Amino acid sequence: MDVKEVRKLDAYLKRVFSNPLIRVVPHQKKNDSADVFIGDELIAVLFVDDEDGDHSYQFEMSIKNLNGVGKLDPSGVRKLDAHLKKVFGNPKIRAVPRQKKNDSADVFIGDEFIAVLFVDDDNSYQFEMSILEEDLADQA
C-alpha cells in the first residue's frame, strides 16, 4: 500500500466508524497490508485484495475471549454488539442475527450494512469488512 492508499483508508475508516482515533499504519516489510489502531491498540489488519481483477481491501478483526458467547444466537449477538460499540466508540454500530443461521451475523452502522461477523471457534469471532476502490473515491 502506498501513502495515498493509506491516507484514503484512514479517512474512510474514521468516517465510517465516526471515530477520529482510528489510524491506518502500513507494514514495514509487507506492501499488501496495514495495521489498524484505535489510539495505541491494534484492532485489525487491512489486506489488499486484487482477486478477479478488482482492487479492494479486506478489513479483518479477530474478537477473542468474550465470556458467555458461543454461537451467534440472539444472546451472543447482543454481547458482540456491545463489544463492537465499545471497541469502535460508536453507539450506532449494531450486530444483527441472520435468519436461520447461528454461525454468522450482519453488522450495520445505522441502516448501512458494513460487515459480517463469523464464528471461528467457541471463543473466537472474525469481523470482516470489504472496502471497494469506489468506496475510497471521495477520500482525501
Instruction: Note the pLDDT of residue 70.
Output: 63
Instruction: Note the pLDDT of residue 22.
Output: 97
pTM confidence score? 0.89
Would you place residue 100 in the very low, low, confident or very high pLDDT band (cuts 50, 70, 90)?
Answer: confident
Would you place residue 67 in the very low, low, confident or very high pLDDT band (cuts 50, 70, 90)?
Answer: low
The answer to whether residue 140 scores a pLDDT higher than 60 is no
- In this structure, the number of other CB atoms found within 10 A of the CB of residue 98 comes to 14
Q: What is the pLDDT of residues 103-117, one digit of tens each?
A: 889 999 999 999 999
Average pLDDT for residues 5-27, to the nearest whole number?
94
Q: What is the pLDDT of residues 80-94, one digit of tens each?
A: 899 999 999 999 999
